[in-house]
């Protein structure tokens, strides 16, 4: 057993294609004791809960967590700040499944599994939407009738923990105008002024904005109406098309995995890559417009940090933007979870 003087946080970061876990000792800055990544792909939420046994095995010999922090993709209309999890929070997360059916059921299953394994350990919800909660009305409001806005239909924005981590890493080097491009299996671009989000590419759900690995990103809504009206697709089939069968996977007919596409010689794989790169550049340009000019662009996420070809394409695509510095920084979502969980415990 390793002795740890302060709090010990188990950070659980469930995404659309992986589950990351990390055990952190938190004094002033979190220190990773042990961690790992489990590839989950399209497993459903109840099935993903079985991975908790794998996590518990990895934690043997390490201190028992004093608090468990969860990345929660969508806070819904009633949760815009990180918080301790209780019955009221769980009820709101159940309701938020309507906004993020790809992610929220997984998080709920992990919360229940964590409670079963550590019944007396408090749990904290860290919302990806919280970073964007203060966006101005021009960014937050969607162009639909007001009666739907009253039910919580608005732009929420996502990858907030990743954005928080970039702001923290920049510290005193924070520019007035910052664009953060989180590029991974899910991808979004955010405009940050003086450390605060003022606009972002994703909207009501994590399906909008940039073309992604398997998600459409922004698309003419008439396409979806046409598919419903003329091809016999029902809502369930359409939801699967939007989130699981489109994006780079749909265009290439091969895969949404950047590594697979880079290694392919087929024309449609190349087209998918070029479309992704163009989509990212267009969203970055849109965020620069929202800011009225930007000083720094940060590329982060699995693709942003590791795929050099994407980085080159973005630099070339934005070469017309004067004075834009482009940096690559790691997305430290798990560190943010550890910090918030320790503070709220």
Burial of 295 by CB count in 10 Å (0-12 exposed, 13-18 middle, 19+ buried)? middle
For residues 108 and 45, the answer to whether their CB atoms sit within 8 Å is yes
Tokens of 239: 């939801």
| Cβ atoms of residues 318 and 284 within 8 Å | yes
Q: How many CB atoms lie within 10 A of CB 298?
A: 24
Q: What is the largest CA-CA distance in the chain?
A: 64
**Phi and psi at residue 179, in whole multiples of 5°?**
-115, 130
Contact 206, 190 (CB under 8 A): no
Could you give the 3-state DSSP secondary structure of residue 272? helix
Q: Quote the tokens at residue 318.
A: 């934005």
- Which residues are 127's β-sheet partners? 72
Query: What is the C-alpha end-to-end distance of the chain, expressed in Å?
Result: 23
Two tokens, residue 115: 């409670």
CA-to-CA distance for 215 and 23, rounded, in angstroms? 31
The secondary element (H helix, E strand) that includes residue 10 is: strand 7-14
Please choose, from the candidates 71, 60, 33, the residue with its C-alpha nearest in 3D space to the C-alpha of residue 331.
Answer: 71
Alpha-helical segments (H) within 30-86: 45-48, 51-58
Contacts of 290 (CB under 8 A, 6+ apart): 139, 191, 198, 199
By annotation, the residues acting in catalysis are 128
């Amino acid at each position: 057993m390793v002795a740890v003087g302060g709090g010990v946080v188990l950070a659980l970061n469930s995404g659309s294609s992986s589950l990351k876990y990390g055990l952190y000792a938190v004094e002033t800055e979190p220190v990773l004791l042990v961690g790992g990544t489990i590839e989950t792909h399209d497993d459903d939420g109840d099935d993903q809960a079985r991975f908790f046994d794998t996590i518990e095995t990895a934690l043997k010999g390490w201190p028992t967590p004093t608090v468990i922090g969860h990345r929660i993709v969508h806070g819904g209309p009633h949760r815009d700040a990180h918080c301790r999890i209780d019955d009221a929070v769980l009820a709101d997360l159940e309701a938020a499944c309507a906004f993020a059916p790809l992610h929220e059921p997984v998080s709920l299953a992990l919360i229940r599994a964590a409670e079963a394994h550590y019944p007396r350990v408090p749990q904290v919800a860290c919302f990806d939407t919280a970073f964007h909660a203060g966006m101005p009305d021009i960014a937050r409001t969607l162009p639909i009738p007001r009666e739907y806005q009253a039910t919580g239909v608005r732009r929420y924005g996502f990858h907030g923990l990743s954005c928080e981590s970039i702001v923290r890493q920049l510290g005193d080097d924070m520019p007035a105008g910052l664009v953060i491009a989180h590029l991974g299996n899910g991808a979004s671009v955010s405009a940050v002024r003086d450390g605060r989000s003022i606009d972002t590419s994703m909207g009501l759900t994590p399906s909008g904005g940039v073309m992604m690995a398997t998600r459409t990103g922004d698309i003419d809504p008439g396409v979806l109406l046409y598919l419903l009206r003329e091809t016999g697709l029902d809502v369930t089939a359409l939801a699967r098309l939007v989130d699981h069968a489109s994006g780079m996977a749909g265009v290439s007919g091969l895969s949404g995995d950047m590594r697979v596409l880079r290694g392919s010689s087929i024309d449609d794989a190349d087209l998918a890559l070029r479309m992704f790169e163009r989509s990212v550049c267009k969203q970055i340009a849109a965020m620069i417009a929202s800011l009225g000019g930007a000083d720094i662009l940060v590329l982060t996420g699995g693709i942003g940090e590791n795929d050099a070809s994407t980085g080159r394409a973005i630099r070339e695509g934005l070469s017309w933007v004067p004075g834009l510095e482009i940096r690559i920084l790691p997305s430290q979502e798990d560190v943010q979870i550890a910090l918030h969980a320790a503070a709220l415990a």
